């Protein structure tokens, strides 16, 4: 799925505003969950996505 740069910029702005509206504890909890869910792709995954 391709997202235009303009849409991506809008989503990023909304996410930044949302995070800024949270308390520090809530923000840290979300960011720590995000770090746990971010797994770098293996070479097999990255090659299969480029072949699609």
What pLDDT digit, counting tens, does each position of 11-41 carry? 999 999 999 999 999 999 988 988 888 877 6
In a domain, 3, yes or no: yes
pLDDT at 52 (0 to 100): 46
In a domain, 8, yes or no: yes
pLDDT at 49 (0 to 100): 53
Q: Which phi-psi region, left, alpha or beta, contains residue 2 (left: φ > 0; alpha: ψ -120 to 50)?
A: beta
In a domain, 1, yes or no: yes
Quote the domain boundaries for residue 4.
1-28
Is the torsion defined by CA of 36, 40, 46, 48 positive or negative? negative
Q: How many helices (H) and strands (E) in the chain?
A: 3, 0
Residue in the structure block whose two tokens are 């480029």:
50
Tell me how many domains the chain contains. 1
In a domain, 10, yes or no: yes
Separation between Cα atoms, residue 48 and residue 13, nearest integer Å: 31
In a domain, 18, yes or no: yes
Q: What is the band of 2 on the pLDDT scale with cuts at 50, 70, 90?
A: confident
């Amino acid at each position: 799925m391709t997202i235009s740069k303009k849409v991506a910029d809008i989503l990023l702005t909304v996410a930044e505003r949302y995070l800024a509206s949270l308390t520090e504890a809530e923000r840290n909890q979300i960011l720590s969950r995000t770090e746990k869910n971010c797994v770098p792709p293996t070479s097999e995954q990255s090659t299969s996505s480029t072949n699609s």
